[in-house]
Structure formats: C-alpha cells, structure tokens
Amino acid sequence: MRALLVVNPVATTTSARMRDVLTHALASEVKLDVALTAFRGHARDLARRAAEQGTADVVIALGGDGTVNEVVNGLLHHGPDTGELPRLAVVPGGSTNVFARALGLPNDAVEATGALLDALHAGSERSVGLGLASGTPGTPDEGVPRRWFTFCAGLGFDAGVIGRVESQRERGKRSTHALYVRQVMRHFLGDPTRRRGVISLLRAGHDPVEGLALSIVCNTSPWTYLGNRAIHATPAASFDTGLDLLGLTRLSSSAVSRYATQLLLSSPERGPHGRHVVSLHDETDFTLQSQVPLPFQLDGDHLGLRTSVSFTGVRHALRVIV
C-alpha cells in the first residue's frame, strides 16, 4: 500500500523524536512518502496533489484538527469521494484532536499509530459524512470559496473566542484549556452583539429564526473536549447523519453561566436545553445570516469575518481508515 504521511512539524503534542519513531513504524508496513508542511494551506496542497496524481492509497495526517481539515479539503477539492480517492488516516498530534477522538482513536500519537497499523492490516475503514460551508449567493460573501469541515463550524461568539486564542498563540502563548477559558471571559465582556442576537437561521420551507447570539454547527459529537471531558453541544450529531445546530438567543451573564454549566455536564443523551436554545438535527441545507460581519471558524480555525454562510451536510463524503 502506498501512503503519504503529511506532518505538521509544529504540532502541539509531538516532538521530532516521536515523529521519527512513528514514521519508522509506518514505513515498516507501507510504502511511505513523508512531507512536512511549511506554511498554512500546505497540507491541503499536498493532499490534493496525491488525489489528483493517484500517488497514494491513503493520506495520513499527523497533526491537530487544523492539519486534518487541510488534508480533507485537499482530498475533496473536486468533490466527495466516489470510490477513487485515497482514504484518510489520522494520527493525533494537536492539543484537542476532536476529529480523531470522535472516530474512537486513542488521544496519543503512539497508541493511535498502533491502532492505525492494526486497521491497515485488517482493511478496516468507514465512510463518514462531512459538512460543507459556502458563501451564500446574493450576499457579499457569495464569492468565498467553499470549505469542508469534519466536526464543527461557528459563526459569532465561539469563533470570536477562537480568533482571540489564535492571536495569543501568535504572540507565543501555549494552547491550553486555561488560555481558552480566559479568552471566553474576555470575549464575553467585549462582545457588543451578545445581548441582542444578530444572526438569522434560514431554511427552505420554514420561517426564519431571528435573534441568535451564538450559532454552532456540528457534524459529530462531542463538539469539543475540556481535557478528558467530552462536551456535547449537539448530542445526536453523527458522522452518519446530516448537520446539527445549537443556537442561543441570549448571552446574558446568567444565561452564559447556565448554559456553560449544562455544557460541562452534558452527555451523549442530553445537551444544552431551555427556552433560549434553538436546536436542529440531521439537516442537509441551511444558512446563517448576520446583520453585521461576525467571526467565523471551521474545525477550530478562525477564517475572518462573514455576514452569511450556507451549510450543506454531505453523507458518505470520505473513507477513513479506522
């Protein structure tokens, strides 16, 4: 089997020595090419080339969720897998690794490599659904290139927090859960749109839902992890269904405290609930539209400001070794 290992050399939880060990282990079982990423978007370019040129049967992403997202977008540059594209494999190397853990992989690069080798021997793989975010026709964002996401997207509050965290990391701060908590509080105090929601949820055949102050789109559950604790924003979300959405119409101090507690206590059976909660399950197409430009994120990657994003849930988009 031919494999391309796409390595993020600055991944949070791996060292050069560990990457060498993992590379040797993989090379003992497959015909392995290794490529280190050098800039943002490089992993996407490498995966796209492998898909277009047919040089790999599997593309392995060694890094965090951002690296995985780039590899997925490279593989699916021309559309969902119809059986001809390389399969995806993941070795977690980031700080949270939501996609890998949602697939049931160990959150340890060495253990995950062992599980990957076992899956390759057994020929074990599964088809997963993914989300697709596009610029909405007839809006200022209609020309924004479409982009796939593996586990979540967000327009508004959560994306603003991610933007703050990325800014801190660019200044040399380590990505820790404490850093995220601090930025949540700072963004809460400084967000001018949190008291009066400016996001509308639009679906064909339904009345618009106005006044969302927070909107999170999930392709699977958990939404994220706080250490070893899984956070279930949309517990019913699955790689086997369409997209789910959690919206909040109020972000006052009391509401944030209540819903933050519900998230911390969430389970696969129960997520946030209450009269200010808007939930969707297994949706194929919908649009989030804002009265003002808001931060936007995909798979934990801040993508700037948007006023409108259209979402599509695509079943059986990609085959994954697992």
For the stretch 140-152, pLDDT in tens is: 999 999 999 999 9
Q: Given phi > 0 = left and psi -120 to 50 = alpha, else beta, which region is 300?
A: left
Report the relative pairing of strands 2-7 and 58-63 from DSSP bridges.
Answer: parallel
Query: Of 141, 56, 134, 69, whose CA–CA distance to 99 is shortest?
Result: 69
More confident residue, 12 or 277: 277
Per-residue pLDDT, 47: 98
Query: Of 234, 236, 212, whose CA–CA distance to 224 is shortest?
Result: 234
- The DSSP symbol for 15 reads -
Residue 165: pLDDT over 80: no
Per-residue pLDDT, 190: 72
Mean pLDDT across the stretch 280-289?
Answer: 98
Query: Of 224, 299, 295, whose CA–CA distance to 71 is shortest?
Result: 299
Mean pLDDT across the stretch 107-130?
Answer: 96
Query: Of 247, 184, 176, 183, whose CA–CA distance to 211 is shortest?
Result: 247
Per-residue pLDDT, 322: 96
For the chain, give the percent of residues with pLDDT over 70: 95
pLDDT band at 175 (very low <50, low <70, confident <90, very high): low
More confident residue, 255 or 49: 49
Query: Of 74, 67, 2, whose CA–CA distance to 40 is shortest?
Result: 67
Burial (CB < 10 A; 0-12, 13-18, 19+), residue 18, is: middle
Coil, helix or strand at residue 271: coil
Per-residue pLDDT, 14: 86
More confident residue, 76 or 156: 76
Question: What is the C-alpha separation between 128 and 79, in angstroms, rounded?
Answer: 14
Using alpha carbons only, give the angle 319, 111, 266 rounded to the nearest 5 degrees.
75
Mean pLDDT across the stretch 101-119?
Answer: 96
Residue-averaged pLDDT of the chain: 93
pLDDT band at 78 (very low <50, low <70, confident <90, very high): very high
Per-residue pLDDT, 161: 82
How many beta carbons lie within 10 A of that of residue 143, not counting itself? 8
Mean pLDDT across the stretch 197-203?
Answer: 96
Residue 169: pLDDT over 70: no
Residue 192: pLDDT over 90: no
Q: Which residues contact 220 (CB under 8 A, 6 or more apart)?
A: 99, 102, 150, 151, 237, 238, 239
Per-residue pLDDT, 194: 62
pLDDT band at 253 (very low <50, low <70, confident <90, very high): confident
Question: What is the C-alpha separation between 256 and 140, in angstroms, rounded?
Answer: 31
Task: Write the pLDDT tens digit of every residue in 15-47.
Answer: 899 999 999 999 999 999 999 999 999 999 999
Residue 316: pLDDT over 90: yes
CB 226 within 8 A of CB 177: yes
Query: Of 1, 61, 73, whose CA–CA distance to 37 is shortest?
Result: 61
What φ, ψ does residue 58 adopt, rounded to 5°? -145, 140
